[in-house]
Amino acid sequence: MILEATPPSTLESEFNPKISAEVRFDEAAARLGLDEGMQKVLRSPSREIIVHIPVSLDDGRLEVFTGYRVQHSIARGPAKGGIRYAPDVTLDEVRALAAWMTWKCAVTNLPFGGGKGGVICDPTLLSPSEIERITRRYTAELFDFIGPEKDVPAPDMNTNEQTMAWIMDTYSMHARHTQTAVVTGKPINLGGSKGRPEATGRGCMIVTEQALRRLGLERSSTRVVIQGFGNVGGMAAKLMSRAGFKIVCIVEWDCAIYNAGGLDIPALMKHRNETGSIAGFSGGEMIDKTEAMFLETDVLLPAAKENVITSDNAHRLRTKILCEGANGPTTHVADSILAEKGIFVIPDILANAGGVTVSYFEWVQDRQGYFWNEQMVNDRLEEIMINSFQDVVAYAEKHSVNNRTAAYMLALDRVAYAIKLRGIYA
């Protein structure tokens, strides 16, 4: 067979997350045999909202910021998804992320659709009071479109529990009563859930354990390389180390720290908190951050950014399991390479779904007015993550596809089924 060179346009599109999502959607839809009309419905957002936010800055100037909220699907329940603040937010990006949330919620069988929001701004150039004013005006503009039964936002890039508290308060002032269930990721004292900060990392650990069982590997002898040491990677490292995994390497933006015998994760976290970097940690050796991704290991857990595994480097991976803690760490072109290498992939829309799962628990607790202890949160998270893992793997075996395609097929199937049951209102 003669392999033709990939045209430049294809190479450029490899790194576009929207195109990656569309390619995977197309493959899953084709394998499911979805008719053209249903594909159009599943592709199309339910609603796209653009707002222009006038804000008085601290120096007295008046500035106008642009905000977005895309509700991709509400077929299975309220839209669910984060709000990000960044100078490079685009409507296309928000559309793609909203669709991903639809599939993520469907894979884990949560009663949510997908949504996403963003405001074009640079938080590093704004004071806390300016960010608060942006947040409150953005919330006021969206008041008619969000709510516990409509659309439930959450934190994302450059937003946090304080941002969610401002949104909750602003919404409540307009509604004339306190409504904690309008957002998730709130402070505990305002209706947040225990276990939320660890949820995404814990979910990664749970599905990794399930993969180990399928491959006949023991936790105590399992070597793990984690890219990223923030909320997802750091929590995954902490929990997996405590559970008995051997974390041999942490890869960060400036360097990588390696110890074949296993890193002391609490000590590394202490060092990072004191110095601002993992560099110089005495419990391991510094190695090249790029080469660290290609160490021989049992589990590779990218938990930092998108497009780190590509057609240029996928063939160099030496891992048995790839657990995608980040959104979109693998390009669609690299999927076939990983399949040829026999790497067991736990796709992002399953692997990092622990966060949205505990966000669902927070929403449920707020609506009940009854809050669970952390053990209950963790037990129910484990149940959902294990069931979701088993659903995806069973779907992969039934349809003779890889895990990523199976996850997309399962998600599309569930959303399409809900739409067919509801019918098309006209």
Residue 49: beta bridge partners? 69
pLDDT value of residue 19: 86
- The 3-class SS string of 12-51 reads HHCCCHHHHHHHHHHHHHHHHCCCHHHHHHHHCCCEEEEE
Residues 210 and 333 both lie in one domain: yes
Nearest one of 147, 145, 120 to 55, comparing CA atoms:
120
Q: How many domains does the chain have?
A: 2
Residues 261 and 331 both lie in one domain: yes
Please give the share of the chain, as a percent, with pLDDT higher than 90. 93
**pLDDT tier, 426 (very low <50, low <70, confident <90, very high otherwise):** confident
Residues 162 and 288 both lie in one domain: no
pLDDT value of residue 142: 98
> Average pLDDT of 405-416?
98
Say if residue 153's pLDDT is above 60. Answer: yes
**pLDDT tier, 2 (very low <50, low <70, confident <90, very high otherwise):** very low
181 Cβ contact partners less than 8 Å away, ≥ 6 residues apart:
148, 152, 191, 363, 366, 367
Q: Roughly how many angstroms between the first and final C-alpha of the chain, as a whole number?
A: 51
The CATH number that applies at residue 289 is 3.40.50.720
Higher pLDDT, 127 or 97: 127
Residues 224 and 280 both lie in one domain: yes
Q: Is 116 a catalytic residue?
A: yes
> Average pLDDT of 349-356?
97
Question: How confident is the prediction for the chain on average, in pLDDT?
Answer: 95
Residue 35 located in a structural domain: no
Write down which residue in 317, 351, 385 finishes a domain.
351
Q: Is 249 helix (H, G, I), strand (E, B) or coil?
A: strand
Residues 224 and 333 both lie in one domain: yes
* Encoded amino acid at 366, one letter: D
pLDDT value of residue 332: 94
pLDDT value of residue 6: 43
The rounded distance, in Å, linking the Cα atoms of 134 and 125 is: 13
Write down which residue in 351, 371, 395 finishes a domain.
351
Q: Pick the catalytic residue from 104, 116, 238, 320.
A: 116
pLDDT value of residue 306: 86
The rounded distance, in Å, linking the Cα atoms of 374 and 380 is: 10
For 9-61, the pLDDT digits (tens) are 455 689 887 788 899 999 999 999 999 999 999 999 999 999 999 999 999 99
Number of neighbouring beta carbons within 10 Å of residue 223? 19
pLDDT value of residue 4: 40
* Enclosing domain of residue 79: 45-184
Residue 379 located in a structural domain: no
Residues 162 and 297 both lie in one domain: no
Say if residue 7's pLDDT is above 60. Answer: no
16 Cβ contact partners less than 8 Å away, ≥ 6 residues apart:
none
Please give the share of the chain, as a percent, with pLDDT higher than 70. 97
> Average pLDDT of 126-139?
98
Write down which residue in 159, 184, 209 finishes a domain.
184
pLDDT value of residue 11: 55
Residues 203 and 345 both lie in one domain: yes
pLDDT value of residue 8: 38
For 276-333, the pLDDT digits (tens) are 999 999 999 999 999 999 999 999 999 998 899 999 999 999 999 999 999 899 999 9
pLDDT value of residue 395: 97
> Average pLDDT of 56-75?
98
pLDDT value of residue 10: 56
Residues 56 and 130 both lie in one domain: yes
Say if residue 377's pLDDT is above 50. Answer: yes
The CATH number that applies at residue 170 is 3.40.50.10860
For 158-213, the pLDDT digits (tens) are 999 999 999 999 999 999 999 999 999 999 999 999 999 999 999 999 999 999 99
